[in-house]
A and B are shown apart, each in its own frame.
Chain A
């Protein structure tokens, strides 16, 4: 046995000789690839290689008469990739989202979760609402540039505070001035990180219960 450094060129169907067996594997492989699509290339290829390795081991031990039957048996025993790979892809995707805070990955992971359980769909709904509110908050903070007198954190003489856009600026005084923009964006950024981290923890727990 020798240590193996992973390379994409290891994939393909070198382990199958029968035409029908190759076709069955190709179809199963394309289903796997569809499920793994949201993941980075290297992760996709590694998971695929491990499944291919599993199929090869299974084919070697199967006593069925044809190679096609052996591949079919192996695929059936593995199950539907759309079901068994769901927790794996979900966890990896949310890991990326929680660590990079990349909005496109977060959007991708939310889209991925729609196809999951009712609990996952509910989480997607709640998170989508929170992110939308956050987006509006950040936009409102930036509008201070256009409406400097009407947008901000305001204090009245009675000691009450108003936040956001106000039409009647009297008798309020602007507490932060233009500091409202960096401070507001900082708060938005922190909330964004907090929501993502909390959501990741919830997703991890949900997906953990669907394993095994």
Chain B
């Protein structure tokens, strides 16, 4: 069968697949750095789930699916990086507060170092 795709159409197809590729890559980078981001937030103060998610959304300037953060927080707690405590407020529903643990602080230092190394490498190669 003869190829009926015009150069313009072919360029459009390439553009679409590139944007899909970048979207996937961007999502993977975010996914990989989310734990680091959460630990960085929690090293300063304790947060409850909603507050943490709002802060992540603000700093990433992106629309994060809010529900996906709860399984991540749960696993981080299971791995001993953070701990949680339920607290009643004056009004409304109790909040579950998350705090970084000593193990989490240790992990955070290594993760920050790793991130820095990667960042320097990218900067060096981009020059």
Which A residues are closer than 8 A to B by beta carbons?
Answer: 1-6, 10, 15, 47, 49-54, 56-58, 60, 77-81, 83-88, 91, 95, 208, 211-212
A57-B50, A212-B31 as given contacts; A85 in contact with B93, CB under 8 Å: no
B57 → chain A closest CB, angstroms: 9
Kindly report which residue of chain B lies nearest to residue A91, judged by CB atoms: B75
Chain A residues, CB < 8 A from B87:
1-4
Q: DSSP majority for the B interface?
A: helix
Check A84 against B86 for contact (C-beta < 8 Å).
no
Check A79 against B50 for contact (C-beta < 8 Å).
no
A53-B48, A58-B50, A84-B65 as given contacts; A211 in contact with B71, CB under 8 Å: yes
Partner of A53, one of B65, B68, B85, B95: B95
Known: A54-B50, A212-B69. 14 other contacts (CB 8 A): A3-B88, A4-B85, A4-B87, A52-B93, A53-B48, A54-B66, A78-B65, A79-B67, A81-B67, A84-B65, A87-B71, A88-B71, A211-B31, A211-B68
CA of A4 to CA of B49 in the docked complex: distance in angstroms?
Answer: 16
Chain B residues, CB < 8 A from A54:
49-50, 53, 66, 70
CA of A117 to CA of B72 in the docked complex: distance in angstroms?
Answer: 18
B82 → chain A closest CB, angstroms: 14
Q: DSSP majority for the A interface?
A: helix
CA of A80 to CA of B31 in the docked complex: distance in angstroms?
Answer: 18
> Top 3 nearest A-B pairs by Cβ distance?
A84-B67, A4-B86, A57-B50
- In the complex, whether B89 has a CB less than 8 A from a CB of chain A is yes
Check B49 against A53 for contact (C-beta < 8 Å).
yes
Chain A residues, CB < 8 A from B67:
51, 78-81, 83-85
- In the complex, whether B30 has a CB less than 8 A from a CB of chain A is yes
- In the complex, whether B34 has a CB less than 8 A from a CB of chain A is yes
CA of A49 to CA of B49 in the docked complex: distance in angstroms?
Answer: 12
- A selection of 25 A-B contacts at a CB cut-off of 8 Å is A1-B87, A1-B89, A2-B87, A4-B85, A4-B88, A4-B94, A49-B93, A49-B94, A50-B70, A51-B67, A54-B66, A57-B92, A84-B71, A85-B67, A85-B70, A85-B71, A86-B71, A87-B71, A88-B70, A91-B71, A211-B71, A212-B31, A212-B34, A212-B68, A212-B72
CA of A212 to CA of B50 in the docked complex: distance in angstroms?
Answer: 15
- In the complex, whether B45 has a CB less than 8 A from a CB of chain A is no
Kindly report which residue of chain B lies nearest to residue A208, judged by CB atoms: B75
- In the complex, whether B96 has a CB less than 8 A from a CB of chain A is yes
Q: What per-residue 1/0 map shows which CB atoms of B87-106 lie under 8 Å from chain A?
A: 11100111110000000000
- In the complex, whether B74 has a CB less than 8 A from a CB of chain A is yes
A88 → chain B closest CB, angstroms: 4
Chain A residues, CB < 8 A from B68:
79, 84, 211-212
CA of A95 to CA of B75 in the docked complex: distance in angstroms?
Answer: 11
A4-B86, A84-B68 as given contacts; A56 in contact with B30, CB under 8 Å: no
Check A84 against B70 for contact (C-beta < 8 Å).
yes
- In the complex, whether B44 has a CB less than 8 A from a CB of chain A is no
Chain A residues, CB < 8 A from B71:
84-88, 91, 211
CA of A211 to CA of B30 in the docked complex: distance in angstroms?
Answer: 11
